[in-house]
Amino acid sequence: SQKIEQNSEALNIQEGKTATLTCNYTNYSPAYLQWYRQDPGRGPVFLLLIRENEKEKRKERLKVTFDTTLKQSLFHITASQPADSATYLCALSQGGTGKLIFGQGTTLQVKP
Amino acid sequence: NAGVMQNPRHLVRRRGQEARLRCSPMKGHSHVYWYRQLPEEGLKFMVYLQKENIIDESGMPKERFSAEFPKEGPSILRIQQVVRGDSAAYFCASSLGTSGSTDTQYFGPGTRLTVL
């Protein structure tokens, strides 16, 4: 069956460290994968998009990798700050369909 | 440039009533998507619309739910005869297109529906 999975347990890290979040999928062939941030009571905010032919994408302190052989994307936040505390969602698209399929999200807590 | 707008932000209905949720996409965006987020669950796709057309409604419950995106005005998600299980956050997203550099979906703040 098709699945997209993120670590369901919350990730707690110390300020200044690098946070790494994982997104694994099975039985999909995504054209691209997106990462979003969601704060309590708010809508998801787009962070980064990475396509199937891209290995890595960066934006300021954020880095995303996409390994279509492992069927995995990693999301890194370097020099993390308490303001980075939120739930992070990965979502994949099989291209042209418009539909995004979301993981259940991983909650990140950065302690000062 | 205003983002995706949704209203109302909070909606309370009694069982059996109708709920109407509105979504105005970002300026220039003609693709609209509706997602539902149940408590403690992830976002689930419901429907994808372009102006006056439903493109994909594979995530919509077969009964009581309908969506439209008229030529003029916002997209509407309509839930008839609401039940307690409809209580959730409903998010709308919009995009410029569905391929190339146009497919990023931008989300609104959501409408939180509570059915008493």
Q: Is B67 exposed, middle or buried (0-12, 13-18, 19+ CB in 10 A)?
A: buried
Give pLDDT, residue A32: 86
Q: What is the mean pLDDT of residues B55-62?
A: 92
Residue B94 has pLDDT above 80, yes or no: yes
Distance from C-alpha of B85 to C-alpha of A100, rounded to nearest angstrom: 23
Residue B69 has pLDDT above 70, yes or no: yes
Residue A62 has pLDDT above 90, yes or no: yes
DSSP string for chain A: --EEEE--S-EEEETTSPEEEEEEEES---SEEEEEEE-TTS--EEEEEEETT-SEEEETTEEEEEETTTTEEEEEESS--GGG-EEEEEEEE-SSS---EE---EEEEEE-
Q: How far is B10 from chain A (nearest CA, A)?
A: 11
CA distances from B105 to B46, B67, B69, B91 (A): 14, 18, 17, 11
Judged by a CB distance cut-off of 8 A, whether residue A104 touches chain B is yes
Which residue of A lies nearest to B96 if distances are taken between CA atoms?
Answer: A98
Residue B45 has pLDDT above 90, yes or no: yes
Write the single-letter amino acid at A62.
L
Q: How far is B91 from chain A (nearest CA, A)?
A: 7
Q: What is the mean pLDDT of residues A66-83?
A: 95
The mean predicted confidence, pLDDT, of chain B is 92
Which residue of A lies nearest to B38 if distances are taken between CA atoms?
Answer: A104
- Cβ neighbours of A93 (radius 10 Å): 22
The mean predicted confidence, pLDDT, of chain A is 92
Residue B99 has pLDDT above 70, yes or no: no
Task: Tell me the pLDDT band of A29, cut-offs 50, 70 and 90.
Answer: confident
Q: How far is A7 from chain B (nearest CA, A)?
A: 13
Are A98 and B107 inside 8 Å of each other by CB?
Answer: no
Take residue B13 and report the two structure tokens written for it. Answer: 């209905």
Task: Supply the DSSP symbol for B16.
Answer: T
Chain B residues near residue A105 by CB distance under 8 angstroms:
42
Give pLDDT, residue B3: 92
Give pLDDT, residue B111: 98
Are B33 and A100 inside 8 Å of each other by CB?
Answer: yes
Distance from C-alpha of B41 to C-alpha of B74, rounded to nearest angstrom: 27
Count of A–B CB contacts within 8 Å?
62
